[in-house]
Chain A
């Protein structure tokens, strides 16, 4: 409780030069965690590579070269070629664009739904809260994997469907975090001040309450990116998420479902797996570090 009052006090005292703002403090704490700083640079490097490599690569996504089929990594093909001679280095980073893009879209959408519903539930309480929380119960108890299978195999398997499905299935967690925070923030004195000043409900929720929850949302979103990458790639690997011709880190590993590929062609599937692992691990490290920085009580 005391930290939350501190946050509010710090925000009020922001004009005072001698008082460090909440975010400056978080940033300082975060920078102390060297592992997290290194992870941030790694994630940035991966994102940049996914943007730049396909642009400067001499090969394209579908360009085949039957003379150079199933080549091991070499100087001309850094990660070798697949069974119809496509350059796997280029495909890896185009797949990364899709996987990272989907993760970002899912987390953004999920946070928007979760924040709006969580704020409404926490602020109004009563019947609004009851209805929103019962709906979130329903979504939390959904057999996640089977619903994904149903939606993807019945409707199309395009990125839009998958983004929508994953975000609709995962908003309840963020809604619950936001609701719990709003519930306790609502009781603070500055809300009474809002009441006295006649500030509208909408402004109270989204201008005065929500900024104080933002830190928790950012922590959740960072960890959410990691979780979404894992889910999307798993589904795509099983052929239940994004399907070819659109490559993702998940379906690029699909050839490894054939035994001969596992046996002989490690460069078909290992780079994508390592890319997923590295990205997810760095996001988890950053998320943990942010949580420690935002909420010193959680410091391990």
Chain B
């Protein structure tokens, strides 16, 4: 097991370097660098040169890439140009909200999607099944941003039940902790609904098809034949095996979840990594772009590894040696 994990982590390194290399190449091809955004039209040519020198723009491409890798390996991702702070500190400021939004949505998705999938599979072709299938089909087909706009129109504008954007009411800045937390939760209802529903729809579809496959197996028939209660058959015998593909899906849904979170943040103007990266790219703040990408890639790579390990934990037939 340990050698397996070590081997997998070692395999991640070339993939990670590949991702960063391609990104570096793209940024290299971009017209204008960080110094352009800071340049003043009154600057002399020498001053401009000096500025470009300061951000290492005159160095050859491979040297920049190599330096970045060496620094990053030591945990130094450089300074964010617009924030005048280390990249790691800027990411730290924004990641909390992104994490909150994506983990709450994942939770909502699992809590709605998985039970719905089970009920739908155990009562195939019933009215409940049709309703759940239609719900899932709508969930995967409705564009998240359009869904967000419909929710905004209905609940934030017409009924005025929820705030329209942001994460905190500026008037409550000095309020006590409980009021601020409740205010944050109030702001998060619509974004979590949007992201959670798309997650729920895909979990429902996978749980349903996985359950349907398992329910037809002989051992489930045996369990029924020996007179076990239907509940025990479904939840103890069938569900456990049906969960195996769902666990894998969980690992692979992390990149999609993060992309969805960035998108949802942008629509509801929540201060998170999505907003930070859109700004970073438009301001040519390359150290921050690289830092955010490096972090997202590492999360994605480790999510895939954890999915594989959980897969082995859930299914004793699988052994990694």
Residue numbers of A with Cβ under 8 A of B are 134-135, 137-138, 141-147, 149-151, 153-155, 226, 230, 233-234, 237-238, 240, 253, 256, 259, 262-263, 266, 269, 273, 276-277, 280-281, 284-285, 298, 300
Contacts and interface: CB of A to CB of B under 8 A. Distances in A.
A281 B149 contact: no
B145 A238 contact: yes
Given A234-B263, A281-B138, A300-B208, A151 B15 contact: no
Contact of B146 (A134, A277, A281): A277
Given A151-B26, A238-B266, A281-B138, 20 more contacts: A135-B18, A141-B300, A142-B297, A143-B258, A143-B296, A144-B255, A146-B293, A149-B277, A154-B30, A154-B281, A237-B145, A259-B157, A259-B164, A262-B152, A262-B153, A263-B157, A263-B158, A273-B143, A273-B150, A284-B140
A113 to B, nearest CB: 16
For the residues of A in contact with B, the DSSP-based class is: helix
B145 to A, nearest CB: 5
Contacts of B137: 281, 284-285
A247 B294 CA distance: 34
A153 B281 contact: yes
B113 to A, nearest CB: 16
B172 interface: no
**Interface size class for chain B?**
35 or more
B45 interface: no
A154 to B, nearest CB: 4
B9 to A, nearest CB: 14
For the residues of B in contact with A, the DSSP-based class is: helix
Nearest to A284: B141
Given A141-B301, A277-B141, A134 B15 contact: yes
A143 B98 CA distance: 15
A73 B212 CA distance: 47
A150 B26 contact: yes
A277 B142 contact: yes
Q: B30, B137, B146 — which one has the most chain A CB atoms within 10 A of its CB?
A: B146
Given A237-B145, A259-B164, A273-B146, A134 B30 contact: no
Interface of B: 14-16, 18-19, 22-23, 26-27, 29-31, 124, 137-138, 140-146, 149-150, 152-153, 157-158, 164, 208-209, 212, 255, 258-259, 262-263, 266-267, 274, 277-278, 281-282, 289, 292-293, 296-297, 300-301, 304
B159 to A, nearest CB: 12
Nearest to A298: B209
A233 B142 CA distance: 11
Given A234-B144, A277-B141, A146 B263 contact: no
A262 B268 CA distance: 14
**Which 4 A-B pairs have CB atoms at the shortest separation, nearest pair first?**
A281-B141, A273-B146, A138-B18, A154-B30
B152 A138 contact: no
Contacts of B14: 134
Nearest to A234: B145
Nearest to B294: A143
Given A143-B258, A150-B26, A284-B140, A138 B15 contact: yes
Contacts of B281: 146, 149-150, 153-154
12 contacts: A137-B18, A142-B297, A143-B297, A144-B255, A144-B259, A147-B26, A233-B143, A253-B146, A259-B157, A273-B149, A277-B143, A280-B142
A300 B212 contact: yes
A138 B263 contact: no
Contacts of B16: 141
A226 B140 CA distance: 10
A147 B23 contact: yes
B259 A143 contact: yes
B297 A141 contact: yes
Contacts of B158: 263
Contacts of A138: 15, 18-19, 22
Contact of A253 (B31, B149, B153, B259): B149
A150 B143 contact: no
B302 to A, nearest CB: 10
Nearest to A277: B142
Given A143-B296, A147-B23, A285-B137, A280 B282 contact: no
Contact of B141 (A143, A226, A238, A256): A226
A149 B255 CA distance: 16
A141 B143 contact: no
Contacts of A269: 149
B263 A150 contact: no
A201 B300 CA distance: 37
Given A237-B145, A259-B164, A145 B263 contact: yes
A153 B19 CA distance: 19
Contacts of A284: 137, 140-141
Contacts of A300: 124, 208-209, 212
